[in-house]
Homo-oligomer: A and B are copies of this chain.
């Protein structure tokens, strides 16, 4: 059992003391203990940041997740440089954790680069598994029947929330800022998709996930996520060839629809056998492991057919929500989510480079005006969606619209691809990044305002979050 981990402390001890490292050069995984050290140190920093952030936010009556995002900004690339990733111009020597590890282990420059890459890879994957577990938990806490009941509303909200910001953004950029058509379409498209992770976490924190508004928002955000992928495929092929790749777009639409419906049908089949399986298992993890196998497998499928892993995880949770073991599963998933989800939010904050807000840089000044326009369109374009909800009396229309505001992920993908393919100018790219950052950080406090003060039971630790 040549476990790389087990080689580790001994090899380190020897490498640094008894035997010159050349002798051990052929022993694999020489860096393994150092990678482990850096991952452990990163996790300690991430958890401390997440707890300080969420507790402070709680004290100021803000959503805890906003605290985690901001704490991530503090420990990340914008400030302390503790949690950074090898992106852009950043290298191992920029990372304070890597500097500490380097001091402890006297790594060669090559090894330092390798350790930094490995550590970043591990933390990134843990963050990805974190958002997968979050969406699985959100699925578990959602109500499939309720979601079906508001399904039409969710589709309407999603479609309006894609069409309005896209149209207003594109036309506005062309007419007000005289941006070329293709670039304007690209930037307009970046305004479309909603970040489901942030919205659903805030809803869950406020105990609003099961409300009509909450379920419409979650349903619409899921549909938005799929629409965003399709819009991106359309716009990217337009930018590249001047025409739309109909086959690819058709594939995405069909596979997304088939996946969501298929997974729910398949899941209901699995669901009935889930209790049987779990009750027959006699060793530890009898409930949580089958559930996670299902969630991870669905996430894998979602990823493998070029949709998103989180869609699969959400579908898995939604299906198990109807299971008899749900309450027990809920309790078991909580500590796992507490372990993994903060890694996601802190790293989201850590990766947000707030230096794009610095007006001393010329590109940023040019970007700020466009960014203000984009932020207004991004917010107004989503807020109006609430008024397209029909047939449900006494619904909080403003809350639905605000719930769709955070952009997060997909907007940044647009900025990155647009910039790489040469379609977007630097100021336009920066303005998209500013728009994504602002909508992401504004949405949580706005949501809390429009939903009203949560009841005491919802903000304590025991709440169904």
Contact = CB atoms under 8 A, between A and B. Distances in A.
A338 B289 contact: yes
Interface in A261-303: 281-286, 288-290, 292-293, 296-297, 299-300, 302-303
A308 B16 CA distance: 15
Contacts of A131: 5
A172 interface: no
Contacts of A416: 2, 7, 27
A409 interface: yes
A40 interface: yes
Interface string A31-70: 0110111011101100110110011001000001000000
A240 B18 CA distance: 8
A436 B131 CA distance: 39
A351 interface: yes
A404 interface: no
Contacts of A299: 40
A11 B307 CA distance: 10
Contacts of A327: none
B412 A1 contact: yes
A125 interface: yes
A132 to B, nearest CB: 8
B27 A412 contact: no
Given A13-B306, A122-B125, A233 B18 contact: yes
Contact of A309 (B36, B50, B229, B460): B36
B58 A351 contact: no
A49 to B, nearest CB: 11
A94 B149 CA distance: 49
A12 interface: yes
Contact of A37 (B282, B300, B336, B461): B300
Interface string A123-150: 0110111011000000000000000000
Instruction: Count this chain's copies in the assembly.
Output: 2
Nearest to A240: B19
A47 B281 CA distance: 13
Interface of A: prevailing SS: helix
Contacts of A87: 2, 4, 28-29
A191 to B, nearest CB: 16
Nearest to A461: B286
A19 B309 contact: no
A155 interface: no
A3 B347 contact: yes
Given A17-B248, A58-B282, A122-B121, A289 B1 contact: no
A85 interface: yes
A461 B281 contact: yes
A128 B5 contact: yes
A118 interface: yes
B436 A14 contact: no
A440 interface: yes
A336 to B, nearest CB: 5
28 contacts: A1-B409, A3-B124, A3-B127, A3-B347, A3-B409, A6-B408, A6-B412, A8-B308, A10-B233, A11-B417, A16-B306, A24-B417, A26-B420, A27-B420, A32-B128, A33-B303, A37-B300, A40-B132, A40-B300, A40-B309, A41-B300, A47-B289, A48-B293, A118-B121, A284-B465, A285-B335, A289-B339, A335-B335
Given A1-B348, A18-B240, A286-B461, 12 more contacts: A2-B415, A4-B85, A9-B303, A10-B229, A12-B306, A27-B416, A33-B309, A37-B309, A40-B296, A121-B122, A285-B335, A288-B338
